[in-house]
A and B are shown apart, each in its own frame.
Chain A
């Protein structure tokens, strides 16, 4: 595929590969503790052993994904220095603070997750065990918070000056670097979309069980809890997504313009969905929603949106990110509709929400949500090309000059295939060999 060895291309590929794989487990790692906490809390408050079991079974599967999340997180942590040494040299000067804080959050989470998992029956007061989960939730969300700040900094670097003569970084202000314009929307979007995705993945698991003919009320409770959460998180994701669009229009117009194939700077700009781009940069077959881009960008139909033609040519990201943006947004809306259908039907409808059609959609929702996470990240990351530090350092100048990145790419690809495959196999086996009904019975509960 690549005839010549170019460390930049291979470094980019290897970083993308590791991140794409890590994000699956990181998303679960951030979102699932929240769902476990919800289930355990409801279980204790309502004195309902089904919810407690739900928390317990989710936690058991969670340990496997955490393990893969930890090791791939370690991989990307080391790879940043191995593949992007010049970037890390600058980052060390300017953005080391949140990186450092992230390790503390991770530490905190790791300690309490270990305690939580091994003390289910050790305390007399059940709330004591629940409290152990709070640091896990704080730790996992805080590590997402801090690491996303580092990424936000790459999109909107500030809080330092570059000495014109020596090229060295001076006048560093760590807090200004951390709380850059990209931070609020990025962090909020990452966190809530992780909660949404985890809720949908877990809802999918419950839906599969019901589809396979499991009739126990346990599964219905699981589905209800996850779908109600999913609806709330999806509304939150949509609102914050809208704010992210406004951020882009203000601070990274090239990313928004490329995402929307918006060439001429105009007011009353339409939003384009789908379509293809001709050689002359004309949009064909796309669905145009009048005024929507102006509203997305500035909150007003008459607002002017900067077009690609008015931006420096060598700073325009690849135009195919349009599809990534569309897929992410369409999936987001779809997920919200699925959750809404379930919740409305469950609460007010006279029809059976456990019908095959809706259950199948919910099952599909899990992988779709995960895909939306991937698409969203690809959009965000490729959308800031050619920069690694927008406005300061190009990606090509930051990559390693070392040989053998191509071989490492192959080796890591194999590693992730093996890890992914075994992970799925182990989790499936764990739950197949010990279904919830059996566990309920073993704890003295009734089997319906």
Chain B
């Protein structure tokens, strides 16, 4: 396999990882606030906190990793995306900043501060929409290069139906992924009351998610025919994704095999996301940046891949330890091992 293909696959895996863990995290913040205003606070919040507190910082690293890796492997992305994304990128940064800090403020510091909880919940829900701008402009049509200067077409973005369908999918799927995860977590914790609540959330958001996915699929046709045709060539991946969705929702509906239900949610998004990614190749930014012509120099590529492998040797056992202690430790999940008072 060529280095550039390896590079983009590694980055795509990390972006996928971020998509899953961040959705769980962002959606949980939203539900945490929602439970506060609907009066289910006592049922939902301790559970969410138990899962999120040890992992929230890790979530952020996935994003940084993707970004640094993208610039490392494909340095020209810094120039094009950097110049064009000033406003959407800054909005994402601000939302991330508000969310991260107010999460910590409301979890470790000023408990029961409704306003902090609101900032944390609302900002988290909007971050995926802000970040999805990167995917939107990667389809092309939103950037013009005039005399060597990159110029972002804001009006094109705001009037694009494609852009809005992606934003819609981002907003909805966050709630779907998150509530599916919380269902699993509550089920495992044998917290039946919490489970019934989050199960309702999960089922409620499942249909909108699939509708939004279809809308994105078809709106690519209007926006970038070339890409759409490649997606049709890979349509089997999207079909598998849909089947995984059905299985996941079925399990939740029947209140059984909740662990498998979430695994199928992960498959659902994996197939859709990698199908989308594979059909997008070779372009990173259509039509300006592709993985072959804008790859970094050979030496740096080898260095990055080497460090990546060494890094994984460090990360995988560490992540395993983290999950063993907080995700797969039944006593901890059930709240019998209390975190620090």
A residues adjacent to B (C-beta < 8 A): 56, 60, 63-64, 66-68, 70-75, 77-79, 81-86, 88-94, 96-97, 99-104, 106-108, 110-115, 117-122, 135, 169-170, 172-175, 400-405, 408, 411-412, 415, 419, 422-423, 425-427, 429-430
Contact = CB atoms under 8 A, between A and B. Distances in A.
Interface residues of B, number: 73
The 7 closest A-B pairs by CB, nearest first: A92-B75, A67-B104, A85-B82, A96-B72, A426-B109, A88-B78, A114-B54
B71 A88 contact: yes
B64 A412 contact: no
Interface string B72-87: 1111101111111111
Contacts of A408: 86-87, 90
A71 B101 contact: yes
B260 interface: no
A431 B302 CA distance: 49
6 contacts: A63-B104, A70-B100, A93-B296, A99-B71, A118-B326, A412-B94
A110 B60 contact: yes
B68 A77 contact: yes
B311 interface: yes
B243 interface: no
A73 B96 CA distance: 11
B82 A84 contact: yes
Given A82-B86, A85-B78, A422-B116, 12 more contacts: A77-B68, A85-B80, A92-B72, A96-B296, A97-B72, A102-B68, A107-B65, A121-B340, A135-B318, A402-B84, A423-B101, A429-B109
Given A101-B307, A115-B322, A92 B74 contact: yes
Nearest to B314: A108
Nearest to B88: A82
Contacts of A88: 71, 75, 78-79, 82
Contact of B67 (A78, A121, A430): A78
Contacts of A78: 67, 89-90, 92-93
Contacts of B5: none
Interface of B: 53-58, 60-61, 63-65, 67-69, 71-76, 78-87, 89-90, 92-94, 96-105, 108-110, 116, 149-150, 152, 296-297, 299-300, 303-304, 307-308, 311, 314-315, 318-319, 321-322, 325-326, 337-340
A161 B319 CA distance: 39
B90 A173 contact: no
A20 to B, nearest CB: 15
B340 A426 contact: no
Given A74-B97, A91-B71, A411-B90, A60 B340 contact: yes
Contact of B314 (A85, A104, A419): A104
Contacts, number: 237
Contacts of A117: 53-54, 339-340
Contacts of B299: 172-174
A79 B82 CA distance: 8
B300 A97 contact: yes
Given A100-B69, A103-B61, A108 B321 contact: no
Contacts of A419: 97, 101
A423 B97 CA distance: 12
B253 to A, nearest CB: 33
Interface centre among A83, A111, A135 (most CB of B within 10 A): A111
Given A74-B93, A75-B97, A82-B86, A103 B339 contact: no
Contact of A60 (B64, B108, B116, B314): B108
Given A85-B78, A96-B300, A108-B318, A114 B68 contact: no
Nearest to B50: A118
Contacts of A66: 57, 104
Nearest to A60: B108
B304 A100 contact: yes
Contact of B64 (A67, A103, A122): A103
Given A77-B64, A111-B322, A404 B86 contact: yes
A81 B63 contact: no
B326 to A, nearest CB: 7
Contact of B322 (A114, A173, A405): A114
B83 A170 contact: no
A101 B102 CA distance: 28
Contacts of A103: 61, 64-65, 68-69
Nearest to B105: A426
B92 A415 contact: no
Contacts of A71: 60, 96-97, 99-101
A139 to B, nearest CB: 10
A94 B299 CA distance: 10
Contact of A118 (B71, B149, B315, B339): B339
Contacts of A402: 83-84, 86, 152
Nearest to B311: A104
A374 B78 CA distance: 28
A120 B67 contact: no
A97 B100 contact: no
Contact of A106 (B64, B97, B98, B322): B64
A369 to B, nearest CB: 23
Given A72-B97, A114-B55, A64 B322 contact: no
A315 B204 CA distance: 63
Contacts of A94: 300
Contacts of A89: 75-76, 78-79
Nearest to B14: A103
Contacts of A412: 90, 94
A24 to B, nearest CB: 13
A415 B55 contact: no
B71 A92 contact: yes
A160 B75 CA distance: 15
A100 B61 contact: no
B57 A70 contact: yes
B167 to A, nearest CB: 19
A425 B105 CA distance: 10
Contacts of A411: 90, 94
Given A79-B93, A122-B337, A68 B297 contact: no
Given A96-B75, A100-B304, A100-B307, A172 B297 contact: yes
Contact of B82 (A102, A108, A174, A400): A400
Contacts of B64: 73-74, 77, 103, 106
